Amino acid sequence: MRKPISILISGVGGQGILTLAEIVGRALIKSGYVAKATEVHGLAQRGGVVVSHIKAANYEVSPMVAPGMADLIIGLELIETVRLARYINKETVVLANKKVIPPVLPGVDVPDPGELISRLKRVSHRVYLVEASAIARRIYGEQITNMVMLGALSGLGALPISRELYIEAMYERLPEKYIEVNLKAFEAGEKAVKNLY
Amino acid sequence: MTRRELLGEAGQLAFLLGNEAVARGALEAGMTFAAAYPGTPSTEVIEALISVSREVGIHVEWSSNEKVAYEAAVAASMSGHRAMAVMKHVGLNVASDPFMSSAYAGVNGGLVLVVADDPSMHSSQNEQDSRIYGLHGYVPILEPSSPQECKDYAKLAFELSERYDLPVMVRLATRVSHARGPVRLGVLSRRRVEGKFLKDPNKWSMIPSVARRRRISLLERFRRVSEEVEELEINAIFGDGVKLGVITAGVAYPYVVEAIKLLDIEDKVRVFKLGMTHPLPRRAISRFLESVERVLVVEELEPFLETGIKVIAFEEGLAKEIHGKDLVPVHFELTPERVTRALAMVMGLKPPVDYDRYEEVGSSVSGDLPPRPPVMCPGCPHRASFFALKRALRREGVRSFIASSDIGCYALGFFPPYELADMLYDMGSSIGIGYGLAKSQKEFVVSIIGDSTFFHAGLPAVVNAVYNRAPLLIMVLDNYITAMTGQQPHPGTGVTATGEETKRLSIADVSRGLGVEYVVEGDPLKVVEFQKLIQGAIRYVREQGKPAVVVARSPCVLYELRRLRRLGVRPKLYGVIPEECTGCRVCVDHFACPAISMVGDKAFIDPELCTGCGACTYACPFNAIVEVPRP
């Protein structure tokens, strides 16, 4: 393969983006790829932008994704998903959580979800939306939104990773006592995305 | 989990951060002493070692600064330990004094300096290429390009250090330190050292007569490395194309590999990947230059390899077209598009993707989105300190003043509405520069510095301000830990890196000990009382013309919330009484906590964000903010 699989995961600090990225990276390695994951974020404070770059190929990949080269965007927050527009091409799969977290700025105009979604549809034909935060809240709390998204990713089949290997990677990465609730989140994500077909 | 993988079996495939892989490599080498000061992107090396230190029985510490960390590691090497010092690029500036002497003296146990550069300045005040220190100090440099090489080179560094009687630098950069990738684990060393120092002042004591001999010896030891680097296996050539030769190392290497694949030019290119970038293998490079039509040097930051290679080409009489920083920008991190463009350009090809078009479309779609700039967390005590400071200055009739800031979360005071960072250079500079301003012009000066930074490099500047007598208000924001790098303990915390209880140094006591005669401390979350403390200090500074220290003591809110969670205590919650709120916006515009916003013409506190610090109750001029029950 020449072009590496290129994935971006974005959201706001505290949404569990790095954990999600690590699980996807582990699952890629289990699937036989040389995978690399790196994150871009500001200072160690809450509420900042977090973007994780993941790449995989059969050779030593570089850590960052180039403009127009994303195969997959996983957005845990809509503003931060749209902010990645420069990485998206028409064929990029955009899997986004239907959730807006307003930036904490006085007097800021927060775009509404519908408007943000139509912006995404301008750049990609393949936009999939999941109410991941709402689903997570129903099961346990918003802390597990990231695993709802992982389940949605598995259900969508957007990456050459089997369901079993996603779950194996979850077991490897998550504390044992939280596995059960995270598996529930995963399954709910899978189901949510099935309804989109 | 990472911790389990750090101590995993030989042969196991782990998924480690570059920094964690360095830690594993050190454990495979039998390293038994590690010292560091936290700094992005280097911090996780020591954090990984801390997580296993007890189990494997090694010494790991957060030192008070990088100079002391490096000196501690030097001493452990003298005593026969394999020892390591870890820091970010600017930390090496602080440690540069012992660093320069350490190559003169050499080592007993292997001595490794791990230094992580931060190109693009994600969390730094400048960009520096640490390799230039290696050049300056005659210290060999290894540059890993992946987590696997981080592990392998860290281990190799100890072996080379002992072989050549020289410290060895392992140079990392953000995309090596903070990239997670597969690592095939090797065998953990069981080597443990008691530590025994054998006197040899002719090796270790740099009095001029000894230093002169060691200088000659250093040049000889380094010459031996220069000779043997020709055979070093980690310097390897890939491919056999002749149109273009690419010389690269470290973080740049995978970008080159990928660009060659994308441009489909594998048969036209050959790549010389240098694992050791100082000294350069002169003969191998000469042969490589001769074997290709033209050369492109790809490296992050300065033209370090490029300059060395051009010198070799000149001295060997090789008239070769050598490109480097003319095609790969010197500033900021490399990216796949930067490197792909450079390779395309030198090969006369078009890049495989029209990056510019995507940038354009991207900015048209997302350019007008509201930004999400870094802000101080809800409940951060620095906000309360800033609010109290500005009010105290106003009350004392100080209309204009200069705020000299420092390295830490409180640098966010740069932004409105606080605007309390008129200058910011380096660790401890708030006091050194604040002192100079107080001596060289008339406006009132306040130095703003954090607790860890105060211990790191603030102390000598306090001494100077006392000694040379400057009218300077020094405000120390003591949140009990090194917050910005992820909450590491420091000399004012009362625990060591590995969790043992120890003496807690009081900043107030230390300041008094340094000769400051006016020292007060208080809780900034009790805004009014704290403001009065500051007012007293302002009057003292203006009347006496001497420095005063105000210590704002309140824990980092993230640290405090974690403590409360462990105790099973829910944080308090505050709310606005709508009938009392006049919509004056003081809480939103001047206190500016992210939890507070205007909903219609009334202030509203978001219960999801409020941490219950209560400081805003003092900010509200109409007492409209009160504690409310958590739903």
pLDDT above 90 (res B230): yes
**Can you tell me the mean pLDDT for B414-433?**
97
Contact B13 A49 (CB under 8 A): no
CA torsion angle for B242, B244, B248, B254 (degrees, to 10)? Answer: -100
User: What percent of chain B stands above pLDDT 70?
Assistant: 100
- pLDDT, one tens digit per residue, over A37-50 is 998 876 655 678 99
Domains identified in chain B and CATH numbers: 2-230 (3.40.50.970), 233-355 (3.40.50.920), 381-565 (3.40.50.970), 570-628 (3.30.70.20)
| Mutation to test the A interface, candidates B40, B339, B366, B613, most A Cβ within 10 Å | B366
In Å, how far is B77's CA from the nearest CA of chain A? 34
Categorize the per-residue pLDDT at B412 as very low, low, confident or very high, splitting at 50, 70 and 90. Answer: very high
Residue bearing tokens 């420091």: B490
Rounded-to-5 percentages of helix, strand, coil across chain B: 45, 20, 40
**Can you tell me the mean pLDDT for A4-22?**
95
Contact A106 B589 (CB under 8 A): yes
CA distance B604 to B66: 45
**Minimum-distance CB partner of B375 among A4, A34, A47:** A47
- Residue A105: the pLDDT is 73
Contact B366 A83 (CB under 8 A): yes
Contact B261 A105 (CB under 8 A): no
Q: Nearest residue on chain B to A45, judged by CA atoms? A: B377
Contact A45 B375 (CB under 8 A): yes
Relative to beta strand B573-576, strand B602-605 is: unpaired
- Residue A120: the pLDDT is 97
Categorize the per-residue pLDDT at B387 as very low, low, confident or very high, splitting at 50, 70 and 90. Answer: very high
Q: Tell how far CA B619 is from the center of its chain.
A: 35
Indicate the average pLDDT of chain B.
Answer: 97
**Minimum-distance CB partner of B179 among A12, A36, A110:** A36
Instruction: Give the residues across from A35 on adjacent strands.
Output: A56
Q: Which residues of A touch B377 (CB under 8 A)?
A: 45-47
Cβ-contact A20, A73 below 8 angstroms:
no
Contact B365 A85 (CB under 8 A): yes
Categorize the per-residue pLDDT at B397 as very low, low, confident or very high, splitting at 50, 70 and 90. Answer: very high
Contact A122 B365 (CB under 8 A): yes
**Minimum-distance CB partner of A66 among B145, B355, B376:** B355
**Minimum-distance CB partner of B363 among A12, A86, A104:** A86
Contact B179 A37 (CB under 8 A): yes
- pLDDT, one tens digit per residue, over A164-185 is 999 999 999 999 999 999 999 9
Residue bearing tokens 């979350």: B525
CATH value of A5-194 in 3.40.47.10, 3.40.50.300, 3.40.920.10, 3.50.50.60: 3.40.920.10
- Residue B374: the pLDDT is 84
Q: Which structure tokens are listed for B548?
A: 């005063």
Contact B370 A106 (CB under 8 A): no
In Å, how far is A43's CA from the nearest CA of chain B? 6
In Å, how far is B309's CA from the nearest CA of chain A? 24
CA distance B67 to B64: 9
CA distance B177 to B20: 8
Cβ-contact B131, B141 below 8 angstroms:
yes
**Minimum-distance CB partner of B258 among A4, A21, A79:** A4
Show me where the domains of chain A are located. Answer: 5-194
Peptide bond into B491 cis (omega under 30): no
- Residue A45: the pLDDT is 58
Cβ-contact A178, A146 below 8 angstroms:
no
Q: Nearest residue on chain B to A112, judged by CA atoms? A: B369
Instruction: Give the residues across from A127 on adjacent strands.
Output: A94
- Residue A40: the pLDDT is 81
Categorize the per-residue pLDDT at B288 as very low, low, confident or very high, splitting at 50, 70 and 90. Answer: very high
Specify the higher pLDDT residue, B112 or B4: B112
Contact B254 A39 (CB under 8 A): no
- Residue A43: the pLDDT is 61
In B239-335, where does DSSP find H-type helix?
A: 252-263, 282-291, 304-315
B208 CB burial (10 A radius; 0-12, 13-18, 19+)? exposed
Instruction: Classify each residue of B584-613 as buried b or exposed e, where b means 16 or more C-beta atoms within 10 Å of its C-beta.
Output: ebbbbebbbbbbbbbeeeebbbeeebbbbb
Contact B336 A64 (CB under 8 A): yes
**Can you tell me the mean pLDDT for B580-600?**
93
- Residue A46: the pLDDT is 65
In Å, how far is B317's CA from the nearest CA of chain A? 35
Closest CA to B533 of B395, B355, B354, B418: B395
**Can you tell me the mean pLDDT for B513-536?**
98
Cβ-contact B172, B42 below 8 angstroms:
yes
**Minimum-distance CB partner of A110 among B370, B483, B598:** B370
Q: Nearest residue on chain B to A23, judged by CA atoms? A: B15
Contact B366 A82 (CB under 8 A): yes
A113 CB burial (10 A radius; 0-12, 13-18, 19+)? middle
In Å, how far is A1's CA from the nearest CA of chain B? 8
Query: Radius of gyration of chain B from Cα atoms?
Result: 27
Cβ-contact A175, A19 below 8 angstroms:
no
**Minimum-distance CB partner of A43 among B358, B374, B594:** B374
Contact A111 B257 (CB under 8 A): no
- Residue B536: the pLDDT is 98
In Å, how far is A109's CA from the nearest CA of chain B? 7
| Mutation to test the A interface, candidates B44, B258, B559, B605, most A Cβ within 10 Å | B258
Contact A60 B340 (CB under 8 A): no
**Minimum-distance CB partner of B370 among A12, A44, A109:** A109
CA distance B608 to B579: 22
pLDDT above 90 (res A20): yes
Interface contacts (A, B; CB < 8 Å): 174
**Minimum-distance CB partner of B336 among A38, A62, A108:** A62
ipTM score assigned to the predicted complex: 0.96
**Can you tell me the mean pLDDT for B400-410?**
97
- Residue A91: the pLDDT is 95
CA distance B66 to B93: 9
Q: In what order do the strands lie in the sheet with B13-17?
A: A126-130, A93-97, A72-75, A5-12, A49-57, A34-41, B179-184, B13-17
**Minimum-distance CB partner of B485 among A26, A44, A62:** A44
Q: Which residues of A touch B175 (CB under 8 A)?
A: 38, 63-64
Per-residue 3-state assignment (H helix, E strand, C coil) for B165-219: CCCEEEEEEHHHHCEEEEEECCCCCCCCCCCCCCCCHHHHCCCHHHHHHHHHHHH
Cβ-contact B446, B389 below 8 angstroms:
yes
- pLDDT, one tens digit per residue, over A114-163 is 999 999 999 999 999 999 999 999 999 999 999 999 999 999 999 999 99
Contact B254 A22 (CB under 8 A): no
Closest CA to B99 of B91, B300, B163, B156: B91
Contact B15 A25 (CB under 8 A): yes
Contact A119 B362 (CB under 8 A): no
- Residue B4: the pLDDT is 85
- Residue B584: the pLDDT is 96
Contact A29 B354 (CB under 8 A): no
**Can you tell me the mean pLDDT for B225-254?**
98
B505: DSSP letter: P
Q: Which residues of B touch A22 (CB under 8 A)?
A: 15, 180
